Amino acid sequence: METVDVPLREPPVVVNAGIGVHGVSGLLDVFLLPDLWQLHLYGYTAELTVGGTTHPIRPGHVSLIPPGAQVTYRYGGRSEHVYAHLRLPAGGEPRTVPVMQHAGAQTPLLSSLMRHAVTVAPSTPVQAAADVWTVLWRVAHLSGAGGPHAAFASAVAHIEACLAEPLTVPRIARAAGVSQNHLGRLFRAETGDTVVAYVRRRRMERARHLLGESTLPIPAVAAAVGIADLQAFNKACRRELGLSPRAIRAGGGPADPSRPLR
């Protein structure tokens, strides 16, 4: 097994996150999680075998292992990694991702996000899910093979990390390292939307998730998706999701969850 198909349309459910220390009492571990994906970021040298394929582990490598896959670790001594075990809701077109790859220049950011997820998971699981979702999108775009244009991936990662902040097309273009016009062409090609429409859709998708899966007050949800004005947030929810924030929180819908956001 060298690649996996990863559904990323919806945020994950983080069941467990932590810092794993292995190779102390033994140099061989075998794991199988029937229902959970395994996301690991490594800080050591070892070997991982998944589905009959052996992958070298080096500091800065990241692995993504699907449910039901037996994994075998062979350590060279004390080995520490940060991990998350999670469920990924089905839906949308999956991304093909290598089981093992090097995070390169992304390593410090991925490590920071993963460690923050570990810290907040016990008290604020929705924040841990947001951190891990951002990591998964970045991991999905590391190789660039068969995936979206690198500048598009950088723009999406910037949007995901900054939904609570003012997001303008010039700012996103600078983060992606391209002109505004080129950014617009990339978004049209990859999503069929303008940059502004994509940001609006992602704000509302995250708002729907937070309203349904967290206990954050509605004003805090509005702020978390970059809409500080509560009246504007109410109007946006009604326009894009078909219901008021209170109705969404109460479990009302939208009436058709597959209804595309405009």
pLDDT surpasses 80 at 40: yes
Which residues are CB-neighbours of 232 under 8 A, at least 6 positions away?
none
Task: Choose the most confident range, by mean pLDDT, from 213-217, 218-222, 247-251.
Answer: 218-222
Looking at the domain assignment, is residue 127 inside a domain? no
Number of domains in the chain: 2
Looking at the domain assignment, is residue 255 inside a domain? yes
In eight-state DSSP terms, residue 104 is G
pLDDT surpasses 80 at 259: no
pLDDT surpasses 50 at 262: no
Looking at the domain assignment, is residue 187 inside a domain? yes
Average pLDDT score over the chain: 86
List residues bridging with 176 in a β-sheet: none
> The domain spanning residue 186 has which CATH number?
1.10.10.60
Query: What are 94's two structure tokens?
Result: 């999956």
pLDDT surpasses 70 at 41: yes
Query: What are 14's two structure tokens?
Result: 């983080």
Rounded mean pLDDT, 29-37: 93
- What DSSP string runs through 197-235? HHHHHHHHHHHHHHHHH----HHHHHHHTT---HHHHHH
Residue range(s) defining the domain that contains residue 10 = 3-103
pTM here?
0.58
Distance between alpha carbon 193 and the CA centroid of its chain, in Å? 21
Looking at the domain assignment, is residue 78 inside a domain? yes
* Residue 94, pLDDT score: 86
